[in-house]
Structure 1
Amino acid sequence: MRYNEYNQPIGDAVENYEKGEWPEVSCLEGKTVRVEKLNIKHASDMYEYFGPKSNPTTWTYIPLNQYNSYDVFENFVKKWVESRDPYYFSIIDKATEKVVGTIALMHIVPENRTIEMGWVIYSDFLRKTRQATEAQYLVMKYVFEDLKYRRYEWECDHLNTPSHNAAVRLGFTYEGTFRNAMVYKNRTRDTDWHSIIESEWERKKERLQRWLSDDNFDENGQQKQGLSSME
């Protein structure tokens, strides 16, 4: 523990500290997916899981509703393409070359090198798959190894158990719940906070790489060992 001249405890020194960079990505290449900067050309594929055929349960904990007009949706996507924060990505399944999910980096604070994963919107094809986990891994790796940020956050509605479980499975630490943190869709939200910090990344990375390894999947693409059981 460090103390100042008044004998008060203070945090560890951070030597040669500089603020971080803003995300700037064209493509993060994986084995089963590519994570690309959102582009208007992705809109037609996205409409499959944002439009009238989307799973209605997708929208319960997201401050959006499904779109019933492609023209309206395309204009909406154009705004996301131009956005700096959140900074939106498309997840492209390499087997089909279709956009199957959308995620974003948001609440970007270069001065503190903190950033959040958000706007996690998956098609039914992507849910609970190797591709989804690999997409999250690719963005984590970018955050810690390219941007060299110190803290990576995941927030969700306290009642959104699947999102909380996904964060914990991926290696985020649950930090607590902010009560009455938000109002959306005319209802209150308590927000669960989760994080990974830079000192934890190498261990989290090795765990994810072991799970994503081809050796962990059988000839039918089924996992042999679950990520939650790996330490």
Structure 2
Amino acid sequence: MSKGAFHYEQRRLENDLVALEPFDPTIHAARFVEEIKTSSNLLTYIAFPTINTKEEFIEFYDKHIGSPPEECLYAIYDKTNASEEENPDSNYAGTVALSATSLVNAATEVGIIIFPAFQRTHVATNAIGLLLLYTLDSPSLGGLGLRRVEWKTHTENAASRRAALRMGFEFEGVARWQRVFPGGQVALPVDALEKRNGTKGELPGRHTAMYSIVWDEWDEKRPKVVALMSRTGA
């Protein structure tokens, strides 16, 4: 089973509130599939293939996440969950990823899915914050020293856009028709495109809101991110 070929070391990250464990499909896949099947709104703004079983997800993971060096995935654990001792899986709160990671450009993109029971808690803020500290801190502080961390989201995903701003990302603009959006629940229609091109079967698309934090503003933004993480109700 592939455990990932990420460009950088994918080490465990944690603070007093959450822990990010490198995603292990043999441990984490079944619960993830259960959540996306029972909570369809998790994928409203995410183009994701139809997956019904743990085995289907593991096949998808090995091909698209575990093998490409640009990708890595973490399982998020809520360390404040009181039922952890009785049921260790009860504090598994979602996933957070680094994707489209470029060694040449020293850049990456953050993406996160929080299971419904852990939404509007401290979990998302701390998971994102831990990845920002890891990616943007200098190597002398234990970070990767990247130049740029991106946040890309569907323009209609208001919650995601608010989260980006709350975590200190700067809005850079909207990339129109930035990507095809097969399987997405909120997609731009392509009837006019098919008529224009004389084609059939064109894939739906989306407009993408673009945000970033870059290295030469991180020293100023870092204390604000750390302060957000310390607020357990964030």
Q: TM-score range by the shorter chain?
A: 0.7 to 0.9
* Candidates 38, 44, 52, aligned match of 1:68: 52
Between stretches 75-84 and 174-183, larger displacement belongs to 75-84
CA distance in 1, matches of 2:177, 2:30: 37
Residues 199, 129 of structure 1: alpha-carbon distance in 2 compared, 3 angstrom cutoff = same
CA distance in 2, matches of 1:211, 1:158: 25
Q: Deviation of residue 209 (structure 1)?
A: 1.9
CA distance in 1, matches of 2:44, 2:168: 24
CA distance in 2, matches of 1:203, 1:69: 45
Q: What residue in structure 1 maps to residue 34 of structure 2?
A: 48
Q: Deviation of residue 189 (structure 1)?
A: 0.9
For residues 92-114 of structure 1, what are the alpha-carbon distances to aligned partners after superposition, in whole Å with 9 as ceiling and x for unaligned? 22233432211211121211211
Trace 1:1-231 onto structure 2 (pairs within 5 A).
22-40=7-25, 41-50=27-36, 52-53=37-38, 55-65=39-49, 67-79=51-63, 80-94=65-79, 95=81, 96=84, 97-98=88-89, 99-118=92-111, 120-145=112-137, 146-185=143-182, 186-213=203-230, 216-217=231-232, 223=233
For structure 1, the 5+ residue unaligned runs are: 1-20, 218-222, 227-231
- Matched residue pairs, number? 194
CA distance in 1, matches of 2:150, 2:55: 33
* Superposition RMSD in Å: 2.0
State, as a whole percentage, how many aligned pairs show the same letter: 29
CA distance in 2, matches of 1:33, 1:78: 26
- Larger relative contact order, structure 1 or 2 (CA cutoff 8 Å, min sep 6): 2
Q: For 2:74, what is the secondary structure of its paired residue?
A: strand
CA distance in 2, matches of 1:123, 1:86: 21
Q: Deviation of residue 206 (structure 1)?
A: 0.9
AA at the equivalent of 2:103: P
- Structure 1 stretches of 4+ with a deviation exceeding 4 A read none
For structure 2, the 5+ residue unaligned runs are: 1-5, 138-142, 183-202
**TM-score after normalising by structure 1:** 0.76
Higher relative helix content: 2
CA distance in 2, matches of 1:103, 1:202: 23
Task: Please identify the structure whose Cα radius of gyration is greater.
Answer: 1
AA at the equivalent of 2:208: T
Q: Deviation of residue 135 (structure 1)?
A: 0.6
AA at the equivalent of 2:219: E
